[in-house]
Each structure stands twice: as C-alpha cells, then as structure tokens.
Amino acid sequence: MFESFANLVKSLYPDSSTVALHEPVLGEREKSLLSACIDSTFVSTVGPYVEEFENKVADLVGSTYAVATLNGTSALHAALLAVGVEPGSLVITQPLTFVATCNAISYCGAEPLFVDIDPKTLGMSPKSLRNYLENETRYKNGRLCDKRSGKYISAILPVHTFGFPCEMETLVQISGNYDIPLIEDAAESLGSRLGEKHTGTFANAGVFSFNGNKIVTTGGGGIVVTDDAAIAQKIRHITTTAKTADPFHSFHDEIGFNYRMPNLNAALGCAQLERLDHHLNAKRSLANLYRRFFEEYDHVTFIDEPANTHSNYWLNSILFKEPKTLYDFLEYTHSLKIYTRAAWTPMYKLPMFSSCYRHETGETEEICSRLANLPSSASANLKGNV
C-alpha cells in the first residue's frame, strides 16, 4: 500500500520535490490587493480591508458580528475573556487538539479540564461531557464547580478537528442546561457545516484561524464570530488595547491587547476568500479520491465526514488498525519527502497540561495512536485522478 500511496500523492502534486501537508495557494489577485493596500499606506490595524474581511466572513458563516485578530490563538483568548473566563477557573475542552486551544485557556489564568472525543466526529463527545457534568460537579455559591477541586467551570470549548463538525446541537443543549458559556474552536473548519448551519455559529462565539496552513490564509490571522452584540463589543474593545472612543485623548479603561488584524493581512484575506469555493470543491474531490484509494485496504480506514455534516476536509485523515503501521507509514512517506503527520500528542501528555484533570480519554488515546493526516493542499492536480 505504501508505494501505491506515494505514487498517488506524487501524481497529485507533481511539481514539487517535497509534498507539504497543507500549503497555501497564492496568485495575482493576492498580489494586486496587497499592492493596493501598500499604496494606501494603511498597512497596520486600521483600514478598509479589515472591515471588508470581517463583513465577508460574517456573511459567509451567517453571523451578525465578526472581529478579526492577529491569529486564531488571540481570537480564542479574547473570546474566552469576553464570556467571563476568569483566573483559577476550569475550561472543559478535548485533549485532541492543537496546543493553541489549551494555551488560550492558560492565558486567561484558567486551566483546561479534559473530556473525551467521539471517534465519529473527532470532536468533543457529548456523552463524555454529560457524564462529567452529571457525576463530577456540584454547585457552590450558585455556580457550577468541579467536585474535587472546588474550581468554577467557566466555559466549554469543543474543537471541529481537521474540519469535521462536532455534534454542536447536543453540546449547545448540555451547556445550556448548566448555563455555561460555549465557544467553538472552529480554527480548522471554515466552510464546514452541520446541515445548512456553519460551524462556529452554534455557540456564544466561534473562532477561525487564517494561518498559512488553513483552507484560506491571511498569512497570520484569526476571527471571532458571534450573534451577541455585547460579546462582539467586548472583543473589539479588548483586542484594540481597550482604547476608549475619545477623539482627543488616548485613554484605555482596562488592560487590553494589541490583537487586531493588520490591514495588510486582511487584504490578503479578501483575495483568499474569493478562492474558498474552489478550494472546498477541490478538497472534496481529493477526499473522494483518497476514500476510493483506501477502500482496497482492510487495515486502513479513511475518516469520513460525520452523518448530516458537510466537512471542508481541511486535513484528510486515515486510521490504521495497528499503531506500528502508522509509524512505518510516517517513516516511509517522510523518506520520500511526503509530509504526512501523526495526530497531535494528546494535550494531557504535554508537560504544562499533564496535571490537568482528565475525566475520560480512552478514545483520544486510541485515535492518537493510529491516525495519520495526509497531504491535503487544494492545489492537488485532480485531472485524470478523479
């Protein structure tokens, strides 16, 4: 299988000696908008492209507000602060994620608490969340807290892993029952939907990343989307150094952050958004191709979008039957400069999060030992392969 896979990938990306996991597609339109932005001299955090980019993303996902930031991590940090995550509290998240999810929680002075993933979605398992909340929490001063530590639970933060939508309707219901704010880490899922509703729009707020490895990029960038005017206003304020509107005096009414997206990055983003439909189609065709390829092999399962969802297939993923085969596969493909990747190390195995409480992590452990991400750039040459 390894050799046929390598041949397939080389035919998909014939022009490069190395095959990246995910690379951006950039061209004349990006150059043109960047050039116009430079000519305007508005290259920093004020400028028309920022507003245009925010409006375009809000329209695309169907949110009332969108606030663009330096990156997805700062967007997560600001969103968590805006819903009231406070020092010493706990934020429930999943251990299968990029480290930024847990870093953002830590920047608030809070601590991640891990519940398991659902292997069907790779996102937070509603069952595991419900089980934790029913059995391991109690109320203190009218607020939900963790029974063991007595720490308040200040938010729930599921992740749409690799672009696969997680079960948002149920997570919204559970968080509502306990009156805990819910934030979606939709960093990887621009273009992914549950039914007709876009990921990132189910919770109090959702966060997308526009890092160079995402489906569309602003170089570095992020955005928070929300329908809540107060949350949007708070995020806009704290990401702009908490500067008040006084036209004559520079006044800041709390400790804020210099987190707003520069106009230069937003210009790149406006050009990139024009490519999104094409990228979504190309990535769906690529997913179909990989799915068909792996059907022949009993020891590998291609991970499909969950039922009733439409995934952006940001990173195509397969599961080997045996962990050993995963390592042989990674070794073989890397020797040919085909940069496949194992899933992230579960967050509770990282030194800074190893003492965080984990309620259940069996599925995460299992998936992480056998999952590989495949080269998934939208630049794949699909002619003759589809």
Ligand X SMILES: Cc1ncc(COP(=O)(O)O)c(C=O)c1O
Query: In angstroms, what is the minimal distance from the CB of 3 to ligand X?
Result: 31
**Is there binding between residue 13 and ligand X (CB under 6 A)?**
no
**Is there binding between residue 343 and ligand X (CB under 6 A)?**
no
**Is there binding between residue 158 and ligand X (CB under 6 A)?**
no
**Is there binding between residue 71 and ligand X (CB under 6 A)?**
yes
Q: Report the C-alpha gap between 206 and 186 in whole angstroms.
A: 6
Burial of 151: CB neighbours in 10 Å, binned 0-12, 13-18, 19+: middle
Q: Which token pair is 351?
A: 């030194």
> In the set 209, 226, 316, 317, which binds ligand X (CB under 6 A)?
209
**Is there binding between residue 184 and ligand X (CB under 6 A)?**
no
Query: In angstroms, what is the minimal distance from the CB of 229 to ligand X?
Result: 25
> In the set 30, 184, 188, 305, which binds ligand X (CB under 6 A)?
188
Q: Report the C-alpha gap between 116 and 12 in whole angstroms.
A: 35
Query: In angstroms, what is the minimal distance from the CB of 160 to ligand X?
Result: 8
| Complex with ligand X: residue 266 or 336, whichever CB lies closer | 266
Query: In angstroms, what is the minimal distance from the CB of 22 to ligand X?
Result: 11
CA 231 distance to own-chain centroid: 20
**Is there binding between residue 73 and ligand X (CB under 6 A)?**
yes
**Is there binding between residue 374 and ligand X (CB under 6 A)?**
no
Query: In angstroms, what is the minimal distance from the CB of 49 to ligand X?
Result: 18
**Is there binding between residue 340 and ligand X (CB under 6 A)?**
no
**Is there binding between residue 187 and ligand X (CB under 6 A)?**
yes
| Complex with ligand X: residue 11 or 258, whichever CB lies closer | 258
Query: In angstroms, what is the minimal distance from the CB of 71 to ligand X?
Result: 3
| Complex with ligand X: residue 159 or 338, whichever CB lies closer | 159
| Complex with ligand X: residue 223 or 336, whichever CB lies closer | 223
Query: In angstroms, what is the minimal distance from the CB of 13 to ligand X?
Result: 22
**Is there binding between residue 222 and ligand X (CB under 6 A)?**
yes
| Complex with ligand X: residue 23 or 185, whichever CB lies closer | 185
| Cβ–Cβ < 8 Å for 95, 102 | no
User: Judged by CB under 6 A, which stretch of 12-20, 95-103, 193-201, 357-365 contacts ligand X?
Assistant: 95-103
Q: Report the C-alpha gap between 346 and 117 in whole angstroms.
A: 11
> In the set 45, 128, 211, 340, which binds ligand X (CB under 6 A)?
211
Say how many residues touch ligand X, by CB under 6 A: 14
| Complex with ligand X: residue 100 or 133, whichever CB lies closer | 100
| Complex with ligand X: residue 91 or 159, whichever CB lies closer | 159
SS (H, E, C) the chain: CHHHHHHHHHHHCCCCCCECCCCCCCCHHHHHHHHHHHHHCCCCCCCHHHHHHHHHHHHHHCCCEEEEECCHHHHHHHHHHHCCCCCCCEEEECCCCCHHHHHHHHHCCCEEEECCECCCCCCECHHHHHHHHHHHEEEECCEEEECCCCCEEEEEECECHHHCCCCHHHHHHHHHHHCCCEEEECCCCCCCEECCEECCCCCCEEEEECECCCCCCCECCEEEEECCHHHHHHHHHHCECCECCCCCCCCECCCCCECECCHHHHHHHHHHHCCHHHHHHHHHHHHHHHHHHHHCCCCEEECCCCCCEECCCCCCEEEECCHHHHHHHHHHHHHCCECCEECCCCHHHCHHHCCCCECCCHHHHHHHCCEEECCCCCCCCCCCCC
Q: Report the C-alpha gap between 285 and 293 in whole angstroms.
A: 12
| Complex with ligand X: residue 105 or 318, whichever CB lies closer | 105
User: Judged by CB under 6 A, which stretch of 55-63, 92-100, 170-178, 293-301 contacts ligand X?
Assistant: 92-100
**Is there binding between residue 100 and ligand X (CB under 6 A)?**
yes
User: Judged by CB under 6 A, which stretch of 52-60, 96-104, 127-135, 274-282 contacts ligand X?
Assistant: 96-104
- Which residues contact ligand X by CB under 6 A? 71-73, 97-98, 100-101, 159, 185, 187-188, 209, 211, 222
